Amino acid sequence: MVKDPYQLSCLTMNKTHYLKTVLVGDINVGKTSLAYRFVKEKFKENYTATLAGDGCVVQFNIWDTAGQEKYQSFFSPLYFHGADIAFIVYDVTNSESFARVSHWFDTLQKYCNTAIPVLVANKCDCGSIVEEGIALSFAASKSLQFVHTSAKTGENVED
Ligand code: GTP
Ligand code: MG
């Protein structure tokens, strides 16, 4: 289990590491598009991806789910169990999706407090309605990593 984000940069060499990565966030924020972009390097509407770095290989096992309210009851501890990384995604063009980030953070806390949590501001290729400063403050207050991404252009997806 990787608990400290900085451990990701010093994974044991000559070894393949398997990282369970979960995606959460409201409907249409771009979870599936981000996973697809990361795995296939394409923009399209449970994947795996492998990154080879300086002498070590990281295999991501990506768990994606629907953000629609009616599917919430299907959330189970199993979805989060053993996750190493958790991405909470919102859409920068949709302030409601940002307002719901704290709900997703609480869900994550409830089921899984072992994963590295990352707040993802997706659709940064579009004009942002959600102020990045407010998102950064929220991220800092909850000790979340923060990144803005575009599944469409690929910006920061590999990062
Ligand atoms: P649910 O599975 O229903 O919860 O949605 P989701 O979070 O998986 O969103 P999905 O990836 O299906 O994307 C929703 C819509 O947003 C689609 O029309 C995508 O083409 C679009 N979209 C996703 N990411 C981006 C992005 O970075 N930029 C732009 N412009 N559109 C995006
Ligand atoms: Mg989806």
pLDDT along the chain (159 residues), means of 10: 51 78 91 87 60 78 80 74 94 97 92 90 96 97 96 93
What's residue 36's pLDDT? 87
What's residue 31's pLDDT? 92
Distance CA(144)–CA(121), nearest Å, equals 12
What's residue 90's pLDDT? 98
Pull the structure tokens for residue 85.
Answer: 């990384």
Neighbours of 56 (CB within 10 A): 15
- Give Cα separations from 43 to 55, 61, 155 (angstroms): 29, 19, 11
Say what the pTM is.
0.86
Distance CA(35)–CA(63), nearest Å, equals 9
Neighbours of 99 (CB within 10 A): 12
Q: Which residues sit with Cβ closer than 5 angstroms to ligand 2, an ion?
A: 31-32
What's residue 6's pLDDT? 46
Who lines ligand 1 at CB under 6 A?
A: 25, 27-33, 45, 66-68, 122-123, 125-126, 150-152
Give the residues across from 18 on adjacent strands: 59
Neighbours of 35 (CB within 10 A): 23
Distance CA(121)–CA(110), nearest Å, equals 22
